């Protein structure tokens, strides 16, 4: 599993901490930005870089992690791309439901609400929670892909 990760200026420090953590735990991680702390950057471009890298990947199960201040804006931007199922998670119940029921492939973290240790815990849970694969869940994902 290859993980593509990006953040705007609000999530820059958390992104760098999470990259180090993931790499230390054996994950392949591609940092797609921002490369420097730039208060003028915009989350839509970061979300586009991560999602486009995922969609172009030859990895069987590419995943994305996006970080901005609230997690909301970057999540909205990511969900504009067909085949992307992003969700904002700052609690374990959201992580489990997102993976188990909706097969989320992008985890959006709110840097203003989640500190490094909690982000690591939520990310671990997200990466380890399997999609249940129930027929109704698969049907709903197909319906999402048909929306536009």
Q: Render pLDDT for 17-70 as a digit per residue (tens, 0 to 9).
A: 999 999 999 999 999 998 999 999 999 999 999 999 999 999 999 999 999 999
> pLDDT-based confidence at 147, cuts 50/70/90?
confident
Instruction: Pick the closest to residue 131 from 109, 106, 98 (CA basis).
Output: 98
Phi first, then psi: give them for residue 108, nearest 5 degrees.
-110, 125
**pLDDT number for residue 90:** 95
Mean confidence (pLDDT) of the chain: 97
Residue 134 pLDDT exceeds 80: yes
Residue 148 pLDDT exceeds 80: no
pLDDT > 70 in the chain, percent: 99
- Helix 12-24 and helix 116-128, axial crossing angle in degrees, nearest 10: 50
Give just the sign of the alpha carbon dihedral 144, 139, 55, 4: positive
> pLDDT-based confidence at 139, cuts 50/70/90?
very high
Q: How far apart are CA 32 and CA 46, in angstroms?
A: 8
CA 76 to chain centre: 12
**pLDDT number for residue 16:** 98
**pLDDT number for residue 9:** 97
Give just the sign of the alpha carbon dihedral 14, 20, 78, 134: negative
CA 16 to chain centre: 14
68 is catalytic: yes
**pLDDT number for residue 56:** 98
């Amino acid at each position: 599993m290859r993980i593509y990760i990006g953040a705007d200026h609000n999530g820059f420090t958390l992104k760098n901490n999470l990259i180090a953590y993931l790499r230390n735990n054996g994950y392949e991680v591609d940092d797609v930005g921002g490369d420097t702390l730039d208060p003028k950057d915009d989350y839509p471009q970061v979300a586009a870089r991560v999602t486009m890298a995922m969609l172009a990947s030859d990895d069987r199960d590419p995943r994305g992690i996006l970080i901005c201040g609230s997690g909301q804006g970057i999540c909205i931007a990511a969900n504009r791309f067909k085949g992307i199922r992003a969700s904002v998670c700052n609690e374990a119940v959201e992580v489990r439901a997102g993976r188990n029921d909706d097969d989320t492939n992008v985890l959006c973290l709110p840097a203003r609400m989640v500190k490094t240790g909690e982000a690591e815990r939520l990310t671990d849970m997200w990466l380890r929670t399997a999609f249940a694969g129930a027929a109704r869940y698969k049907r709903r994902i197909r319906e999402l892909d048909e929306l536009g």
